[in-house]
Structure 1
Amino acid sequence: MSENDGEETGEGRDAELTHTDDEGEVQMVDVGDKPDTARRAVAAGEINLQPETVEAISENDVSKGDVLATARVGAVQAVKHTWETIPMCHQIPITNVETDFELFADRVTLEVAVETTGKTGCEMEALEGVTTGLNVVWDMVKAAEKDDDGQYPDTSIDRVRVVEKTKTEL
């Protein structure tokens, strides 16, 4: 499905693929005739960690530095550069990015909200923010998460999803 879940055709899940032309060649969707609208997308995900690692993050006792502050910067940077990493994704004007981390005994959750005013949605930007933010957490704590064989048996990024999407006429 496209970054707009069929918004180009207005047909939702039954829409034809919009990133290919009549010959099946990949193309960027032309959104030039669409009106500008205010849009917001919220994505979420989690990274499962050892309880000791979550405690170290909570106490800001990770040798690489402040894990959540660094992950927040990574998430925002990813949002701003989504168009460079996802083929056929439009470069959109980001008007706001919010990040919200929550620590649990065995995981860290991240929710990223992205807002824009334009012709296309910002779901991919929110998803990129979540995945990159969680990858930054992993990078910052990987030394603590490795087992004796250098593997990560307790570490995983899961449940990455769009939890909200809104579009408001201006």
Structure 2
Amino acid sequence: MTEQAGAGGASPQAGGGADQDQLVYGLETRFAPHLEAAASAVRDAERELTQAREQLGRAEEEAARAGYVSDPLIFMRQSVAEEVDALTRKTTEKKVRVSYRFLLDRAVELAAAEVQGFHDERAAEEREREQGVAACRAAERRAVEALAAAEEMLARVRAAEQSAREGLRTMVAKLTAPEA
């Protein structure tokens, strides 16, 4: 079995320009998919960083636009308490029954609003955790870290290619050098 060159499989013993070109071509074709994959990872990380920054900008704008919203439940609770107090002051049976029906309607509305308010608050908290300013800042930070890691990986892939090229140059120099 003949010895094959590590980079491309061509025999380095002839040492001619055509053999060297074939070795370089072999090296480049073996590294091309890895260089492209590394460059693609960097592009993906850059895209994710851009998206994270855009989402952060939208979240900050939304937070700036969001004004104070009063809680209607405070007023509803107070209204129900006033209706209970008003019921105690009613003197006739007819007025007590009408007042009680009104109180019952307001109390049921308050109960429904309390449940809906609870669910709305939970949904708002979840939305803030996932899409709020703090979440967007954390996503941006992670995207910056991912981009840095991808760029480091690309640099290591390029360094590996350069090592192979240096090895090829050394091999060619040794094989083409006249024997002393």
TM-score by length of 2: 0.24
Over alpha carbons, which structure has the higher Rg? 2
More helix by share: 2
More strand by share: 1
